Amino acid sequence: MAYSTGSDTIEQMYADIVQDLVPYYLDKTLLQNSALIRAQIHVEGQGGGQIRIPVANLPTPAASVSEGASILAAANSNLTPTAANITFQKRGVASDVTEEAVEDGLYDHVVGATLERLAGTLAVATDSAGTAAMKTGFTNNDGVTGANASFKQSFIMSPEAMAFGSARVPTMKVWYNPNKDLHEFRGTTRNGFTVLRSEFGRTIKSSSLGGGQDEANVVAIATSVANLRDNNAPVGADGNYVGVIDAGFELALNKQIAGVGGSTIGALSDIGNNALRNAMVAVLAGCTLYRSNLLPDAS
């Protein structure tokens, strides 16, 4: 389809970007996957800058009751709700498209590049906020010891450990700046995260890629899974917990599983074969793993 370089081109470009912005954004965000965070709350169009989520305390375990005795006195399981709050934060991105770019560039290329920047930046801001909330809310570490920028914090958690709230889906506005002869695209979204139960999440510190520090291993993931089971943390629909790990921890896992560094590589298990083929272990020690480059350091 041929396009002119007049206002009709920008109008069509704006319409195409608005139509595709949300799908692109959702495809690029990790933490808006319901397999990682089950509680996804959307309140677009409603008032207020915060939502309050009631979180019921765990009940007292059932007890043996003598005949004719009070059941309530033996096992009082009244649920006293506590609350977790999600405060909405606006996240924004700007992209300027010059008239020369519209005139000289291929239409699909200009639209694709602009959409990639707008959706990708909003997605990065959202996921970064989520992992920062995990760092603050999950305080039990099962990895190595380290408290500086050479260590990254990965996370092992139940899908019910966190909640995500959205008050504005990714939204786009555009106007023309005659002084600079360019079209100014501005995108925003409003969302936030909170930790519902800190005991349902664990951190694993490990050397960042190229950090030259101590590396965590498979035992760290198995330890986190065991601790979550001990806390009765619910698993996901696939029967596993969720792990969000960085590239350095992924490398450490693959090195251990594939036996890199040994004099020979012997017969491997299916997990080891998959690590060699794909450089990624999808499921390990009762945990489904996802990779992210947006994990915080341990400083």
Tokens read off for 74: 């033996």
pLDDT, position 260: 52
Report the C-alpha gap between 54 and 89 in whole angstroms: 21
pLDDT, position 264: 46
Q: Considering the chain, what percentage of its residues have pLDDT values greater than 90?
A: 63
Least confident of 37-51, 165-179, 276-290: 276-290
Residue range 86-128, pLDDT digits in tens: 999 999 999 999 988 888 878 888 999 999 999 999 999 999 9
- Model confidence at 262: pLDDT above 70: no
Residue range 119-144, pLDDT digits in tens: 999 999 999 999 999 999 999 999 99
Distance in angstroms between the alpha carbons of the first and the last residue of the chain: 52
- Model confidence at 2: pLDDT above 50: no
List all residues 6 or more positions away from 269 whose beta carbon is below 8 Å from its beta carbon.
none
Q: Give 213 or 3, the one with higher predicted confidence.
A: 213
The residue among 61, 56, 54 whose CA lies nearest residue 76 is: 61
- Model confidence at 269: pLDDT above 90: no
Sign of CA dihedral 7, 13, 19, 24: negative
Mean pLDDT over 58-85 rounds to 80
Q: Considering the chain, what percentage of its residues have pLDDT values greater than 70?
A: 89
pLDDT, position 283: 87
| Burial of 55: CB neighbours in 10 Å, binned 0-12, 13-18, 19+ | middle
Report the C-alpha gap between 283 and 275 in whole angstroms: 11
Q: What are the boundaries of each domain within the chain?
A: 7-56+82-291
pLDDT, position 1: 44
- Model confidence at 275: pLDDT above 50: no
- Model confidence at 266: pLDDT above 70: no
pLDDT, position 211: 78
The residue among 98, 95, 96, 97 whose CA lies nearest residue 121 is: 95
- Model confidence at 73: pLDDT above 80: no
Q: Give 228 or 210, the one with higher predicted confidence.
A: 228
- Model confidence at 277: pLDDT above 70: no
Q: Are 176 and 98 in contact (CB under 8 A)?
A: no
Q: How many CB atoms lie within 10 A of CB 202?
A: 31
Report the C-alpha gap between 45 and 171 in whole angstroms: 13
Q: What is the 3-state secondary structure (H, E, C) of the chain?
A: CCCCCCHHHHHHHHHHHHHHHHHHHHHHCCCCCCCCCCEEEECCCCCCCEEEEEEECCCCCCCCCCCCCCHHHHCCCCCCEEEEEEECEEEEEEEEEEHHHHHHCCHHHHHHHHHHHHHHHHHHHHHHHHHHHHHHHCCCECCCCCCCCCEEEEEEECCCCEEEEEEEEEEEEEEEECCCCEEEEEEEEEEEEEECCHHHEEEEEEECCCCCCCCCCHHHHHHHHHHHHHCCCCCCCCCCEEEEECHHHHHHHHHHHHCCCCCCCCCCCHHHHHHHHHCCCCEECCEEEEECCCCCECC
pLDDT, position 169: 94
Sign of CA dihedral 158, 161, 167, 172: negative
Least confident of 25-39, 213-227, 268-282: 268-282
Residue range 223-258, pLDDT digits in tens: 999 999 999 999 999 999 999 999 999 988 888 877
Report the C-alpha gap between 223 and 284 in whole angstroms: 12
pLDDT, position 3: 47
pLDDT, position 189: 97
Mean pLDDT over 155-167 rounds to 96
- Model confidence at 5: pLDDT above 90: no
Supply φ then ψ for residue 59, to 5 degrees. Answer: -75, 160
- Model confidence at 299: pLDDT above 60: yes
